[in-house]
A and B are shown apart, each in its own frame.
Chain A
Amino acid sequence: MLFGLPLLSLIIWLPIFAGVGVLATGGDRNAQLARWIALIGSIAGLLVAIPLYTQFDSLSNGMQFVEYSLWIERFNIHYHLGVDGIAMPLILLNCFTTPLVVMAGWQVISKRVSQYMAAFLIMSGIVNGVFSSLDAILFYVFWEASLIPMFLIIGVWGGPNRVYASIKFFLYTLLGSLLMLVAFIYLYQISGGSFSILDYHRLPLSLTPQILIFIAFTLAFAVKVPMWPVHTWLPDAHVEAPTGGSVVLAAILLKMGGYGFLRFSLPIVPDASQYLAGMMITLSLIAIVYIGLVALIQADMKKLIAYSSVAHMGFVTLGFFLFNAYGLEGAMVQMISHGFISAAMFLCIGVMYDRLHSRQIADYGGLAKRMPVFAAFFMLFAMANTGLPGTSGFVGEFIVIMAAMKVNFWYAFFAATTLITGAAYTLWMYKRVIFGAVIHPAVEEMKDIGGREILILAILAVAVLGMGLYPLPLMEVMHTTVDDLLVHVGRSKL
């Protein structure tokens, strides 16, 4: 409770109402007002989320900050909210990202400003709803609702091919999640009319329905993560999305897929998860190795980072299906870290795009001379992207590789190839963009980053370094939940 208000509801609805408020400012005549309301709203959204960390009891293994009231009586659907050590860090990541996105779009977006800002604020609230829903239908509503703002962001403020990309994004993810709804309805039937996710965790199920439910869930979540081979929507979506859209997409929306595996697949169908773990691990390793090579030859920077995201998210799904504490905690850390690093990488590309209106590597070269401050920030984030120790990028990958070695030498072997491929695609791009002599006259005109851009990148730099040098505070809040989850997954439901 905060000032007598239920905390999680506040975290969900405050950004949404702020978003509606931004919309109310109307046309672009009031653009400056819209920007300020959006900034204040997003910062308020972050501030109200802070008690979530400070008041969190990391030793308790149940749901915390629970809210429970009836929503639709006829179908026994509840407005049921609560967080544990898995959901809480993701909500904080989301609330942390929103002000950055608002700041990033400050000057660049000059048309339909209020709608742009509102879309991000509303999405922020919706995503908080995804991470805190404990009722399947409530979750599903938030889950599908999150598609709409992103669909609009890509479709309205996107690049030339935005219609194709936004429809591909929409259909891909919608088709995946429809099967999830079918699974929910099935679970509703056999649980005797409950949509409570926590009831599903305790529901006994035999193997065949477990496998079918697992497949339905996997399609929904794997598309979101995205796992190989259902990843091809992501590069297109990123390329067409405006910078802010890419940031939220990579930093937050992909995490919904990872979260889904932890909240639904592993605890609801533990036997099927164990049974099909080999397949999930194989797909994850393919993502790491195959996508690492594909990223290497991309000529478009955003595509390159999009593919790099797929490879890094491979570590997340790999960690989940190793079924040990290292794997789960490493995967969680990787999700948070990827939120920081991918956001920073897309913002860096945005900085360059704002100046030259090109994402092609070949159009740049020699930026270090013209933009030394920017080059230094970009170097830090590029190194974080290669998993350099001391940055957050190292922590998750390191722990997941350790987890993989516990299970099988070759899992660790293939996962560790990211040390080589990750460095190759990131630093080769960096070299061609930042180093070298200035070849294109347009680059000669580029101005170094200013105060607003420095502020955004510096905040992310502190996050990336802080988490790399001292990840303990983050890892401590997850231990109990992860242990609990492992015990649960280890207990057969057959």
Chain B
Amino acid sequence: MTEMQKLYLLAPLAPLAGALIAGLFGRLIGPTWSHRITIALMLVCVAASVTIFMDVLKGNIYDGAVYTWATAGDTRFEIGFLIDQLSATMMIVVSFVSLMVHIYTIGYMHEDPGYQRFFSYISLFTFSMLMLVMSNNFLQLFFGWEAVGLVSYLLIGFWYTRPTAIYANLKAFMVNRVGDFGFLLGIALVLMYFGTLDYAAVFAQAPQAATQTIEIIPGTSWELLSAICILLFVGAMGKSAQFPLHVWLPDSMEGPTPISALIHAATMVTAGIFMVARMSPLFELTETALSVMLVIGGITTLFMALVAIVQTDIKRVVAYSTLSQLGYMTMALGASAYSAGIFHLMTHAFFKAVLFLGAGSVIIAMHHEQDMRKMGGLKKYMPITYWTMFIAALASAGVPGLSGFFSKDAIIEALHFATIPGAGFAYFCGVTTVFVTAFYTFRLLFMTFHGKPRMDHHTEEHLHESPWVVTLPLIVLAIPSIGAGWLIGPILFGNYFGSTIQIMPQHEAMARMSLEYHGILAMMTHSLTTIPFWFSVGGIVTAWYFYLVRTDLPGKIKRAAGPFSILLERKYFIDEFYSWFFAGGARGLGKGLWKFGDVKVIDGFFINGTARVVAGTAVLMRRFQSGYIYHYAFTMIVGVFVLMSLWLSGS
């Protein structure tokens, strides 16, 4: 084993060790040592990730097995690592944000009785997520995929005595399982047609498979790769919360805020985006799947952003914002701009983590009050929280110069250049949502930090900035929220991803964009003449006017909009429909099958029926054995008579 291979193992195993120590011996070693050990091991993980990243930049790519998990038939299923630009980038993002969240947790959870358990979970999450992104095959991808889902389930339900939390975590797991159902079928199709689950081997055979068709419904023919890619994308829809499988993410806000930042904004929910980018050699060969992604991404981007406008819970605004931003990433994938999608994933991880952790800082100060209508004027009490969130809000709104601007503008440009069906719709959604995003982000900022304080007197007296363990991660994460975007040149147009991401020549969005790219300054000045920039400014100004100048207007508009605002407030009634149709339907069906099928037909008719027939026959037979001699004599006479007549008539 080379030194680098040892590091590949060390990066995921260090947080796993932390998780085991804090989880199994947490009570023994106490809270302080639990966080010291897990954070020290996270530092090891970050150091390993950075070293690996540097090594990959030098061009050292690794693809190899660690051990053989199982063999079935003539197939070997292996656990192994693929270390290239894509996985190394993800490792940096995951380990870095995770380390920040570990530190932040010291402040946020310090009074919680489940302190050690929490550290154990977030370290376990980091391990799972790293195994997911480092995988070199579909099997391990699925391992990581479900493992992060498990940790998400455990963390959403962390406060397990709250009915809303345990409703939300079950819902999250179930919706993700619906996605995984499709994902697993996609993997099964891959194994069936390619005979292996190793990425490299599958991708090498992909071009030959492009013309293959399968017969899913007898008599119809489906493109094999379209079927595979759409099924895989169903998995991504679950994990990355795309419409119509988005319903679990807003509810996941029941979990403690640090994990909302880590899992439900920065890392786990981007697993779907990462997966599709990883599979670009397959997705590129099927325009059907690309179109599906454009449309699904477009719907999610616009319609989830609209819901964010009417939310009053500070975390839910950020949650819907996450849904919408994930929609942007999905659209980027659909436009074959995989690198732009991953780039937005990265910038979003930073600025969204700041927004969530900042919201958490506000929530601590407000004594766990999350309703923005009871906030206001927090700026003077919490300057660090305010300024870091302000930076993140600018980045989120796409103001030129900050990270979000570059990545989002790249996606919108790519949609502009894309030509496959659905691109027009996606472009429309992408541009419109710029305005909506700017509006709801600054609505959050103004309602929380500006204007008159609306909280009660007691709360106001105790308002103060959060401790350094909370503000330090905010500051550290705010820096890449500003500057990460400046890397757009090398990452998008500098062949950063090399052969990791493959794009067919006819999908020319990225190629055309790179022709027009002349550095970040030119990109910023050019943007001043485009619609997205003015939408972004317009959104901020509108939010300012509505929530700081004419604070009576939002209420009036809401009354005027009537049913439309109810539709938004009730999130298009999707939750109600799902719980009636799917949850209720399954219970009804189960009850029907049980009461009718098992109890009535099988047990009632066949089993007990058989018993009755046996008993009935016995009763009948008993009649013939009554014990009275005249019964027997009579039967004998009749018998003799019958036999005689048969004999006589026969002769």
Contacts and interface: CB of A to CB of B under 8 A. Distances in A.
Interface of A: 168, 172, 229, 232, 290, 293-298, 324-326, 329-330, 366, 368-369, 379, 383, 388-390, 395, 398-399, 401-402, 404-406, 409, 412-413, 416-417, 419-421, 423-424, 427-428, 431, 434-437, 469-472, 475-476, 479
Nearest to A324: B73
A297 B591 contact: yes
Contacts of B587: 296-297
A401 B188 contact: yes
A437 B161 contact: yes
B184 interface: yes
Given A427-B170, A435-B166, A437-B161, A329 B72 contact: yes
B574 interface: no
Interface in B177-209: 177-178, 180-181, 184-185, 188-189, 191-192
A412 B231 CA distance: 13
B160 A389 contact: no
Q: Which of B163, B180, B593 has the most CB of A within 10 A?
A: B593
A479 B71 contact: yes
Interface stretch (B6-14, B463-471, B595-603): B595-603
Contacts of A427: 153, 170, 173-174
A221 to B, nearest CB: 18
Contacts of A409: 185, 189, 214, 216
B586 to A, nearest CB: 6
B607 interface: yes
A476 B593 CA distance: 40
B255 to A, nearest CB: 14
B146 interface: yes
B530 interface: no
Contact of A232 (B181, B185, B607): B607
B262 to A, nearest CB: 21
B: contact size bracket? 35 or more
A476 B177 CA distance: 30
Contacts, number: 131
Given A297-B590, A383-B150, A402-B191, A424 B607 contact: no
Contact of A325 (B73, B154, B161): B73
Given A229-B602, A428-B170, A472-B68, A325 B146 contact: no
Nearest to A430: B170
Given A419-B184, A436-B161, 4 more contacts: A229-B606, A296-B590, A419-B177, A469-B69
Q: Which of B71, B174, B181, B188 has the most CB of A within 10 A?
A: B188
Given A232-B598, A416-B181, A472 B71 contact: yes
Contacts of B598: 232, 294
B147 A405 contact: no
The interface residues of chain B, by DSSP majority, are classed as helix
15 contacts: A229-B606, A296-B587, A296-B590, A297-B594, A369-B161, A390-B147, A404-B188, A406-B192, A409-B189, A413-B185, A416-B185, A419-B184, A420-B181, A431-B166, A475-B72
A435 B157 contact: yes
A434 B69 CA distance: 33
Given A402-B191, A475-B70, A412 B185 contact: yes
Contact of B192 (A294, A389, A390, A405): A405
A471 B69 contact: yes
B143 interface: yes
A433 to B, nearest CB: 11
B589 interface: yes
B180 A419 contact: yes
A172 B188 CA distance: 38
A298 B100 CA distance: 44
Contacts of B74: 325
Contacts of A419: 177, 180-181, 184
A471 B69 CA distance: 6
Nearest to A303: B594
Nearest to B216: A409
Contact of B173 (A390, A416, A423): A423
B493 interface: no
Contacts of A475: 70-72
Nearest to B184: A416
Nearest to B149: A388
